[in-house]
Copies of this chain bind each other. A is one copy, B any other.
Amino acid sequence: MAAQTSYQPPKRYQSRHLPFGDRRDAPFYGKHILSVKQFSREDLTYIFEVAHEMREMVMRVGSFDLLKGKILANLFYEPSTRTASSFIAAMQRLGGSVIAINEVRYSSVAKGESLPDTIRTLEAYADVIVLRHPQKGSAALAAKYARKPIINAGDGTGEHPTQALLDLFTIQEELGQVDGLTVTLLGDLKYGRTVHSLARLLSMYRVKLHYVSPPELRMPREIVEEIAQAGIPQEEHVHLDDVLADTDVLYVTRVQKERFDDPEAYERVKDFYIITPEVMARAKDRMILMHPFPRVYEITLDVDEDPRAAYFRQMEYGLYVRMALLAMVLGKA
């Protein structure tokens, strides 16, 4: 729709705005990270190799200057201390800087600015944009307009791909591999965005999946079908003890009272989905317990000292995965 015109903007601006991929060979260079569906198993292997290197470097030197001089715009339309802090730390441990924007409700958006305009503003200042937004599809919309890489840090009922990647990376780092494992997803499997994305990623490996939930909160049929097509064995259960002895990875999410129409239905089932030392005593010696956090009552505090409780380490793995993604989209890994 551009009008016919002889006007040419000053030279350098044009070259700067060429698509990223045209300029360098690094995989993911200039790419957006929007959905777990964009990754092949090879991609995952590569991301986790880089993330593992990040982990080694952080253990050895804490921080290093791989992204010195680069700026991340951390654009959070809804609060998430954990995810925001993780991206900030990831950028800082790579020597980069962060523009942290948590005030969006008070800003130009409140004055009626569209997401694309906000994104195009921020890419005038920053080299990469991390976006958390309450609306499904917002990350894809941002990416459509952006000339700098967008990383989706959660788009409402849509996806939160870096969470799924860090979950999978945790399994690989803690247990040495993903193939051959039995993974049990527990709790609210109907509304839990994290378990949907994790199940999808796991379907690229040779795993066995158990879904343990109240009948009201079963895994959605479309996800079960999608994973069945990948040839992954899946079983649904109501009671954890049916599968606990067999489980290598127990991934817990909270069963919330508000999800039940009938309060009595909630009362009947809730205790089946709370992890205590007694439950852990019936689990394998070599297994890990995961949780996307925040945790409220669904894992009791006295489980924390169990070496199989991997949920605090899980956050540290998240740091390494996000360091890897930032380095990759900026062409430095």
Contacts and interface: CB of A to CB of B under 8 A. Distances in A.
B307 A8 contact: yes
A124 B312 contact: yes
Q: In the complex, which of the residues A3, A92, A126, A319 has the most CB atoms of chain B within 10 Å of its own CB atom?
A: A3
Contacts of A118: 81
A43 interface: no
Contacts of A18: none
B10 A173 contact: yes
A3 B124 CA distance: 52
Contacts of A49: none
A174 B285 contact: no
Interface string A161-192: 00000000000011000000000000000000
A207 interface: no
B63 A121 contact: no
A274 to B, nearest CB: 15
A81 B111 CA distance: 11
Contacts of A100: 100
Nearest to A300: B1
Q: How many copies does the complex hold?
A: 3
B79 A93 contact: no
A317 B295 CA distance: 41
A281 B3 CA distance: 6
Contacts of A86: 124-125
A120 B85 CA distance: 13
B12 A59 contact: yes
Contact of A85 (B63, B125, B310): B125
Interface stretch (A133-141, A209-217, A286-294): A286-294
A141 to B, nearest CB: 12
A229 interface: no
Nearest to A61: B69
A257 interface: no
A6 B116 CA distance: 52
Contacts of A27: none
A112 interface: yes
Interface stretch (A102-110, A193-201, A219-227, A258-266): A102-110
Contacts of A6: 285-286
Contacts of A1: 277, 302-303, 305-306
Interface in A300-333: 301-303, 305-308, 310, 312-313, 315-316, 318-319
B64 A81 contact: no
Which 3 A-B pairs rank lowest in CB-CB distance, beginning with the nearest? Answer: A63-B69, A89-B125, A81-B107
